[in-house]
Amino acid sequence: MGRVIVVVDMEGAAGIGHVKECFPWCPEYHKHGVVQLADDVNATVRGLRTGGIEDIFVCDWHYMGQNLSESKLEPHAKLLEVGLVEDLKKFLEGGYDGVVLLCFHAMAGTPNGFVSHTMIPFLKVRVNGQPVGEAALIGWLFGTYDIPTVMVTGDEVSVQQAEKFLPGVSVVAVKKAKNREVAQCFPTEEVRQRIEETAMATAQRLGQYQVHRAQEPVLMEVAFRTPNEADLAAAIPKTKRTSPRVVAYRSEKYLEAYKFLMVVYDLILYSWFGEAMQKLTATDEGKRIFGEWSHQIIEQWMREPQSLWYE
């Protein structure tokens, strides 16, 4: 019985002790990171399954969402193709009985949190005046659909933060951060055993967890790396620039504030791609690739059947 969705980040995986293991441009990610991640997911899936959950969905939420492959996962896990960013509505209307936030990390600005951040590097988020991280943001998001967050794993500080915002949630701390780059992992086998047992116990108690909701109306504030980035966000309707690096958004409903945050996320990410693009096109290979792409776009444009409007 029951449907559970496991939202999987990466920084808070058991056995991942260095930031290099979290990103695909580092060999350590391929050699070690993705293996650890899949093992955490599998321990969770086995636990949920033993605890009686029939439908287990997995959402790959880290970086570009290509960190897990179904062939490496327990057969009962269904890897979702849509993410929390791309298709929110479809995602939230899955009719889940609970959400597990697996391998999460502490919020931006936490010095003793392993790879602490909120959504994108440098960004900081406050809700109703209180700094918050991803666990709270996503927990409240599911809360708007009456779905309780039932379990969280991550480093010690990250699970403490999660418990503060999502009271009553079951947690497993898998490591202790030495600093933002390095963590002391607890013995991996033991920790995975704990993840599996906690997932099982959570499944058995499903239905007894409380739904977590942000207090409404909501004041969502975002602080940016630079005033230029804040300029981009300040162009969104209904926003208020409260300082050179801070943009605020007020809404009656949390879901609307979360959607504002998603637009901010896209804007900043695209501005970063712009930065990367400048670097790329400064190289011969980059120029060639960009030239080829531009050529294709122009070709497509020239061949488009002409009409005065799109219906």
DSSP strand E in 83-225: where? 98-104, 124-127, 130-132, 149-155, 170-177, 183-185, 218-223
Q: Name which of 123 and 206 has its Cβ closer to Zn ion.
A: 123
195 or 203: whose CB is closer to Zn ion? 195
Q: Which of 4, 6, 9, 188 binds Zn ion (CB under 5 A)?
A: 9
Question: Who's near 191: CB < 8 A, 6+ residues apart?
Answer: 14, 15, 172, 174, 175, 185
Q: Minimum distance between the CB of residue 277 and Zn ion, rounded to whole angstroms?
A: 23
**Stretch touching Zn ion by CB under 5 A, among 3-11, 40-48, 49-57, 246-254:** 3-11
The smaller minimum CB distance to Zn ion, of residues 62 and 180, is found at: 62
Contact partners, residue 81, CB within 8 Å, separation at least 6 = none
| β-sheet bridge partners, residue 152 | 101, 171
61-69, 78-86, 227-235, 294-302 -> range binding Zn ion (CB under 5 A) = 61-69
C-alpha of 180 from chain center: 18
CA distance 15 to 183: 9
Shortest Å distance, C-beta 161 to Zn ion = 15
Shortest distance in whole angstroms from residue 11 CB to Zn ion: 5
- Letter for the amino acid at 122? F
In the bound complex, what is the minimum distance in angstroms from residue 17's beta carbon to Zn ion?
A: 15
User: Beta 218-223 vs 124-127: how paired, if at all?
Assistant: antiparallel
Binding residues for Zn ion, total number by CB under 5 A = 3
Judged by beta carbon, residue 158 or residue 239, the one nearer Zn ion is 158
Binding of Zn ion at residue 62 (CB under 5 A)? yes
User: Minimum CB separation from Zn ion for residue 115, in Å?
Assistant: 7
Q: What span, in angstroms and rounded, lies between the C-alpha atoms of 202 and 250? A: 35
Which is closer to Zn ion, CB of 46 or CB of 62?
A: 62
Shortest Å distance, C-beta 231 to Zn ion:
26
Minimum distance between the CB of residue 9 and Zn ion, rounded to whole angstroms?
A: 4
Q: Which stretch binds Zn ion (CB under 5 A): 55-63, 70-78, 221-229, 295-303?
A: 55-63
Cβ at position 60, least distance to Zn ion in Å:
10
Query: In the window 229-288, what residues touch Zn ion (CB under 5 A)?
Result: none
- Count Cβ atoms below 10 Å from residue 58 Cβ, excluding itself: 24
Helical (H) or strand (E) element with 9:
none
Sign of the Cα torsion 106, 111, 115, 118 reads: positive
Stretch that binds Zn ion, among 62-70, 84-92, 199-207, 246-254 (CB under 5 A): 62-70
Amino acid 291 reads G
Q: CB nearer to Zn ion: give 122 or 290.
A: 122
Query: Which residue has the CB atom at the shortest distance from Zn ion?
Result: 62
Note whether 180 binds Zn ion by CB under 5 A. Answer: no
Instruction: Decide whether 9 or 40 has the Cβ nearer to Zn ion.
Output: 9
Rounded Cα distance between 214 and 141, Å, is 8
- The Cα 228–Cα 84 span in angstroms is 26
Contacts with Zn ion, residue ranges (CB under 5 A) = 9-10, 62
